[in-house]
Amino acid sequence: MSNGTMSRTQPAADPTESGGGATILIADKFDASGIETLEGLGHRVESHPDLTPETLPAAIAEHDPDILVVRSTKVRADAVEAAGRLALVVRAGAGTDNIDVVAASGRGISVSNCPGKNSLAVAELAWGLILGCDRRIPDQVADLRAGVWNKKSYAKASGLAGRTLGIVGLGRIGQAIADRGNAFGMRVFAWNLGITDAKAEAAGCHACENLINLARMCDVISVNVAANDETRHLISPEFLAAMKPGAILVNTSRGSVVDQTALAAAIEEKGIRAGLDVFADEPGSGTGEFQDSIVKLPGVYGTHHVGASTDQAQAAIATEAVRVIRVHLETGDTPNCINIASGTGAATLTIRHFNRPGVLATICDVLSRGGINVEDMENVIYVGGEAACARIRVSEPPTDDLAEALRGGEHVISVDVSAN
């Protein structure tokens, strides 16, 4: 089968006859190799790449999937509310900003992603945009198609060798862009939270601890950070005001990271050139009407949020998504899960006990009667299977009386309490 995508419903045998395969709804284009693998594992795959945020809730209600896989389609609260058995949403890509993580968390639904599998594809597009801005390639193509020959105008270009490249966000994508900048003979500077000279040197860059200073010194700036509350409008009016006149800004991260109103003003007032793969208000699915005034400005070259859209990247992402699904179904663990709270619990109970049925149930019952909630629990069995150790994070430390009640439980060896 080809390395493309498919749209089909694959009937599966009755779960009671097949050993209990899961129902997996794929709401976007997904590499055919991933679908074949999931079907080969005995799962029922519902592949519907044309779903939209508006039609997704009905599809979830109809198919009642155990797992939902999305790429660009937005998973809103109404989609989460339509779920029955849904236990996992997998984003076939890195970011999860198209998923209502708060709504999913409220229903006990895990949200996972596939980080690092599209880094080279995004870096390649970023460099396409950089070169397009420097040499005005899209404008040249448009003129040629219109029957216009204008070598006199297009012969003017700054060139890249010996100029300064700024990397905002030195993760996998930022590193790949920096590597290519070095290959072009550019001087590469990088800003990242917690960056040090040693980390930057290992990445082939010079460290820049101040974001505004990076804007002042660089001829080309590539933005490669995750979208969250801390990075919203990270590329601010102050940053854009500090940029050199005529400098190039490329954004292949998320539209929310750049203050797009301020960018439009900088383009008009300072001649900033922009290569944008992402926008502040994109359609919620793979196709749709798009009206954004910034793409009509001179010196702005845009693509359709396709940084990760190469055959190589999509095959790698499909392989990782299948791994996440397989581990989740076979072990109960969820790789790359982004909505598990960390550091929860006011205290940790370490309870050594004999490995007997009902011991943990009794412990949880004692805590419940004491008004204490179990927030996380791990139970490990020692070699031989005779004894075990439970580590339980709880909402508040138990009283002395409650701790003694735990110690007095049948088959309990010891109870230690430590504050978190």
Give all strands (DSSP E) within 193-346, no chain letters.
206-207, 220-223, 248-251, 273-276, 300-302
Residue with tokens 């793979």: 286
Percent of the chain at pLDDT > 70 equals 95
For residue 326, the domain's CATH number is 3.40.50.720
User: Looking at 36, 81, 124, 282, which residue is catalytic?
Assistant: 282
Please state the separation of Cα 146 from the chain's center in Å: 40
410 is a catalytic site residue: no
- Looking at the fold, whether 75 and 136 belong to one and the same domain comes out as no
- Looking at the fold, whether 130 and 268 belong to one and the same domain comes out as yes
- Looking at the fold, whether 131 and 81 belong to one and the same domain comes out as no
User: Looking at 63, 163, 254, 328, which residue is catalytic?
Assistant: 254
- Looking at the fold, whether 291 and 165 belong to one and the same domain comes out as yes
Determine the pLDDT at residue 343. Answer: 65
Determine the pLDDT at residue 284. Answer: 76
Number of folded domains that form the chain: 3
282 is a catalytic site residue: yes
CA dist 111 and 337 (Å) reads 6
Is the confidence at residue 76, as pLDDT, over 90?
yes
Is the confidence at residue 18, as pLDDT, over 60?
no
Determine the pLDDT at residue 420. Answer: 81
DSSP string, 167-228: EE--SHHHHHHHHHHHHTT-EEEEE-TT--HHHHHHTTSEE---HHHHHHH-SEEEE----S
- The domain in which residue 48 lies consists of 8-117+312-331
Q: pLDDT, tens digit, for every residue of 329-357?
A: 999 999 999 998 876 678 999 999 999 99
Q: What is the DSSP letter of 309?
A: -
Nearest to 11 by CA among 41, 48, 45: 45
Is the confidence at residue 217, as pLDDT, over 60?
yes
- Looking at the fold, whether 264 and 213 belong to one and the same domain comes out as yes
Task: Give the model's confidence band at 372: pLDDT under 50 very low, under 70 low, under 90 confident, else very high.
Answer: very high
CA dist 390 and 383 (Å) reads 15
Residue with tokens 């991933």: 34
- Looking at the fold, whether 141 and 229 belong to one and the same domain comes out as yes
238 is a catalytic site residue: no
- Looking at the fold, whether 109 and 142 belong to one and the same domain comes out as no
- Looking at the fold, whether 157 and 181 belong to one and the same domain comes out as yes
Structural domain contains residue 256: yes
Q: pLDDT, tens digit, for every residue of 159-184?
A: 999 999 999 999 999 999 999 999 99
Nearest to 122 by CA among 340, 308, 264, 346: 308
Q: What is the DSSP letter of 244?
A: P
Task: Give the model's confidence band at 20: pLDDT under 50 very low, under 70 low, under 90 confident, else very high.
Answer: low
User: Looking at 63, 305, 328, 393, which residue is catalytic?
Assistant: 305
Q: pLDDT, tens digit, for every residue of 245-283?
A: 999 999 999 999 999 999 999 999 999 999 999 999 888
Structural domain contains residue 336: no
